[in-house]
A and B are shown apart, each in its own frame.
Chain A
Amino acid sequence: MMSFKGVAYLTSRWIRRQPIWIIQSILYMLGFTVIMYFWGGAEGLRNMVVAWLIMSGWNTGINVISQDIGWNRISRILFMYIASPLTPFSYILGVFLSGMIFLLAGVAAIGTIAVIMGFLKELVIGLLVSMPLTFISILVGITIVMRLREGTNVSAVTNPISSIFSVLPPVLYPANIIPETIKLGLITIPLRKIALLVPTVSAAEIARQLSGICVSEPLWYVIAVFIFWVVVSIVLAKKTLKWGHE
């Protein structure tokens, strides 16, 4: 069935009326690029290329795609879709494709910078790692938005989650600049290992290691964390996502 095209068409209607969102997203990225370049030079920018792709992947899933699904649910458009020949796969594919507009706009901008600076390896690896991360973030996002009650402002829930996972932990900055451990009284806390448990951080670390930027923890550890998140997000979404028959 080609029904996903209809979903993508309807879900992407905002672009014609509110294109400023994309411009804002690109300006935000350019702002970080300037900060990173003038503060960290070419090495800072190299980090930035990887970090931005990881952040974009995460934000696209949880903030754009899940927000659309949450809005469809709260506005009851989702019920119209369920009571139709549309399949859940086509629905999510359609919403995903419309959400890609954001991701592609960001990738085009950061891709241009990466090509100019010669960071092609970082660009390709960042893109490859951001794909499964987007998948995790869509599933985590769906798990959250499917539990929202009527009247909830969907973006008021997804925006903070998106920021907490992308701006706060070591995504824009490498994990090796935070202390390996910290001591709280008699207890030694493995801070870096804990930070790397965050899916965005482990994804950024994988991309940085594969690009040869830096190594914070063994690769097997961050890959294991990442696989754990893939499994957890699938299990969570499977439990939450119901296509009718609630």
Chain B
Amino acid sequence: MRGEAVVAEHLAKRYGNGVWGATDITFTVMEGTITVLMGPNGAGKTTTVGMLSTILKPTMGIGIVGGYDIVKQPREVRRIIALCPQDIRIDPNWTPLEAVIGYLWIRGQSISDARINAKKWLEDLELWDIRNRPAYSLSGGQRKRIAVAMVLASDAQIIFLDEPTSGLDVEAKQRVWRSLREAVKNGKTILLTTHDMSEAETVSDKLIFIHRGKVVAEGTVADIRAKIPYHYKVVIKKPHTNYSFNYRVRTLGDTVIVYTQSYREALDLVSRIHAESISIQSVTLEDVYLFLVEKIRGGEI
């Protein structure tokens, strides 16, 4: 039976300039899982990770990480966590090998253990062949992967990754996702933030939607999808005439997206429409998110 690795109860953070970075964050993260905090820019993801990783002090609420209180027992929390901050800039003078070994040394690993772990994770993230090249000669994606390797190679039980794949190409993202799943298989717990819905869908065991500093939905991908009654969408590009639909519709310029509950309804719609192109697609998390935001604006959540 899995225990709770992270518990956030009504966490809120007000910055010195009076701006609230988070207003009501409540969720749990189970041990040995990847939980993804999702939301648009400015939703409060980084603030939430900042509070849970003891970088920021919550203004209100309770945070428990690995059984320790983030405000009262920061030292204990720090012993069992690792953080890969958003937009981290690896020192241009470090090589991937030096960065990982140095970081593990800082965390108290012996040199020999640090070397073994560094090799494993640098290989896993496909950085081993460039292990002795200084970061200034590496691409942005490679530098970012160095930071990911540093935290994954650590002995931390709970790892916070703040947008670790933003700016990475598809292949590099896949490598990181594979490594994250590998880390979880080895017993680590990961809390990851992203605004990339496809990333959340691919890598997560649990999703938490944050909007304007509040958790608006949480659960598995299936749970989240079930928050709206639609399963399919018909994407109609440049329709030949102005159709009226008895379904939920979203218009993007010359493209109309019609949401249906069943595949049969979608097929039926396709047979009646004439347009430059028509396709039937499954509803994505992005669609769910847009519906949830509409519900929030309408006061339904």
Q: Which residues of A contact B (CB under 8 A)?
A: 1-3, 5-7, 9-10, 13-14, 16-18, 71, 74-77, 79-86, 94, 244-246
Q: Is the interface of A mostly helix, strand, loop or mixed?
A: helix
Chain A residue at minimum C-beta to C-beta distance from B70 = A245
Tell me the complex Cα distance, A75–B93, Å: 13
Given that A9-B102, A75-B88, A80-B84 are contacting pairs, would A85 and B108 also be in contact in the complex, using a CB cutoff of 8 Å? yes
Given that A82-B54, A84-B78 are contacting pairs, would A10 and B71 also be in contact in the complex, using a CB cutoff of 8 Å? no
Chain B residue at minimum C-beta to C-beta distance from A17 = B93
Nearest CB of chain B from residue A21's CB, rounded to whole Å: 11
B74 to A245, Cβ gap below 8 A?
A: yes
29 examples of A-B residue contacts, CB within 8 angstroms: A3-B106, A5-B105, A6-B103, A6-B105, A6-B107, A9-B101, A10-B94, A13-B94, A16-B93, A18-B93, A76-B85, A79-B53, A80-B83, A80-B84, A80-B88, A80-B147, A81-B106, A82-B55, A83-B54, A83-B81, A83-B83, A83-B160, A84-B81, A84-B103, A84-B156, A86-B78, A94-B106, A244-B74, A245-B71
| Contact code string B74-110 (vs A, CB < 8 Å = 1, else 0) | 1000110111111111110110001101111111100
Chain B residue at minimum C-beta to C-beta distance from A79 = B85
Tell me the complex Cα distance, A223–B106, Å: 38
Tell me the complex Cα distance, A7–B88, Å: 17
A16: B residues at CB distance < 8 A: 93
Nearest CB of chain A from residue B64's CB, rounded to whole Å: 16
A84: B residues at CB distance < 8 A: 78, 81-83, 103, 106-107, 154, 156
B91 to A86, Cβ gap below 8 A?
A: no
A74: B residues at CB distance < 8 A: 89
Nearest CB of chain B from residue A140's CB, rounded to whole Å: 23
Q: Which residues of B contact A (CB under 8 A)?
A: 53-57, 71, 74, 78-79, 81-91, 93-94, 98-99, 101-108, 134, 147, 150-151, 154, 156, 160
B53 to A83, Cβ gap below 8 A?
A: yes
**Number of A-B contacts defined by CB within 8 Å:** 111
Output the residue of A3, A81, A83 with the most chain B CB within 10 A: A83
Output the residue of B53, B90, B151 with the most chain A CB within 10 A: B53
Nearest CB of chain B from residue A76's CB, rounded to whole Å: 4
A3 to B108, Cβ gap below 8 A?
A: yes
A10 to B57, Cβ gap below 8 A?
A: no
A10 to B102, Cβ gap below 8 A?
A: yes
State which of A7, A14, A245 has its C-beta within 8 Å of the C-beta of B57.
A245
A3: B residues at CB distance < 8 A: 105-108
Tell me the complex Cα distance, A244–B50, Å: 9
A9: B residues at CB distance < 8 A: 98, 101-102, 105
Chain B residue at minimum C-beta to C-beta distance from A80 = B83
Given that A83-B82, A244-B55, A245-B71 are contacting pairs, would A13 and B91 also be in contact in the complex, using a CB cutoff of 8 Å? yes
Tell me the complex Cα distance, A85–B78, Å: 5
A94: B residues at CB distance < 8 A: 106
Tell me the complex Cα distance, A13–B134, Å: 10
State which of B88, B106, B160 has its C-beta within 8 Å of the C-beta of A10.
B106
Given that A10-B94, A17-B134, A244-B54 are contacting pairs, would A80 and B85 also be in contact in the complex, using a CB cutoff of 8 Å? yes
A75: B residues at CB distance < 8 A: 88-91
B55 to A246, Cβ gap below 8 A?
A: yes
A82 to B57, Cβ gap below 8 A?
A: no
A76 to B89, Cβ gap below 8 A?
A: yes
Tell me the complex Cα distance, A79–B90, Å: 12
B98 to A76, Cβ gap below 8 A?
A: no
A10 to B78, Cβ gap below 8 A?
A: no
State which of B71, B78, B89, B147 has its C-beta within 8 Å of the C-beta of A83.
B78
A86 to B107, Cβ gap below 8 A?
A: yes
B104: A residues at CB distance < 8 A: 6
State which of B79, B94, B106, B156 has its C-beta within 8 Å of the C-beta of A6.
B106
Chain A residue at minimum C-beta to C-beta distance from B94 = A13
A13: B residues at CB distance < 8 A: 91, 93-94, 98, 102
Which 7 pairs, one residue from A and one from B, show the smallest C-beta to C-beta distance?
Answer: A6-B105, A6-B106, A83-B83, A10-B102, A75-B89, A245-B57, A76-B85
Nearest CB of chain B from residue A20's CB, rounded to whole Å: 13
Tell me the complex Cα distance, A163–B55, Å: 33
Chain B residue at minimum C-beta to C-beta distance from A86 = B106
A244: B residues at CB distance < 8 A: 54-57, 74, 78
